[in-house]
Amino acid sequence: MQTSPVRRSSPDKMIYVLVLVIIVQTIYPLTADGSLLTQIIYSLFYASLIVSGIVVAREQRQDIRLLTVLGATWFISSIIYNLNQHATWARFLAYGAIIPYQIAVTRVLLLYIFASKKVTRDVIYAAAAVYILIGAIFVPTYGLIETITYEQTGTNAFVDTTVEPGQVFPWQNFAYFSYVTLTTLGFGDIQPVTLVARAAVTIESVIGVFYTTVIMARLVSLYTAQGVEAEIKHDHTQTG
């Protein structure tokens, strides 16, 4: 009897990575109250993504060191930001520290996906986690654009029906906006105003479409190759 080409790796370590990424990217509304304790707890959850990177790159010491350094740097920066939430320099620090960290985690997962020779559940979980992390990377990117624009011009780079003109743009709003942009839903309640903001939004939309296309092609090609391999083995078994 022919077996399915989709194989189960042992153990399914990536399911924990995916669940952690989903939790981190969905519990952010809890931080809207501005409570220091809530912010720190959320930062701890986010810093735990270091573990997910280490689980994947446990044989690559250089990647582990990089993830550890970037994760620790961001966590310290987040604590500083939580203690100075209304300071512009603190927002710059937090946004600037988290982007390299997110990119490093995403890179490790992408390398894992494209190094895999078989379609396993871990590969599928990793692909889903990367998609979510792409949206996460653009949250601080939009935050930096907004902060720089406001400091230079006194106007906002984005407009939001829930944010008054001249008011500090909450990063939580960017978390929502990023995933609306990534999935090309475009509700229109938040809009980019400046050319730089529009360029960033366009880039995220293109990446969202491009990523799903490339990943689907990768998984389908691996699945097809496994199917052919399984057929050959089956034929050899029957004729042997």
pTM of the model: 0.85
CA dist 103 and 66 (Å) reads: 11
User: Contact 113/215 with Cβ under 8 angstroms?
Assistant: yes
Residue 27: what are its φ and ψ, rounded to 5°?
-95, 5
pLDDT at 239: 60
Domain boundaries, the chain: 14-239
CA dist 185 and 181 (Å) reads: 6
CB atoms within 10 A of CB 37: 9
Per-residue confidence in pLDDT tens, the chain, 240 aa: 444 444 444 456 788 889 988 998 888 888 888 788 888 888 888 888 777 777 776 667 788 888 889 988 988 999 999 899 889 999 999 999 999 999 998 998 998 888 888 888 888 899 999 999 999 999 999 999 999 999 999 889 999 988 888 788 889 999 999 999 999 887 888 999 999 999 999 999 999 999 988 888 888 877 676 654 555 554 556 565
Residue 191: what are its φ and ψ, rounded to 5°?
-135, 140
Angle at 133 between CA 130 and CA 138, to 5 degrees: 135
CATH code reported for the domain at 14-239: 1.10.287.70
Amino acid, res. 13: K
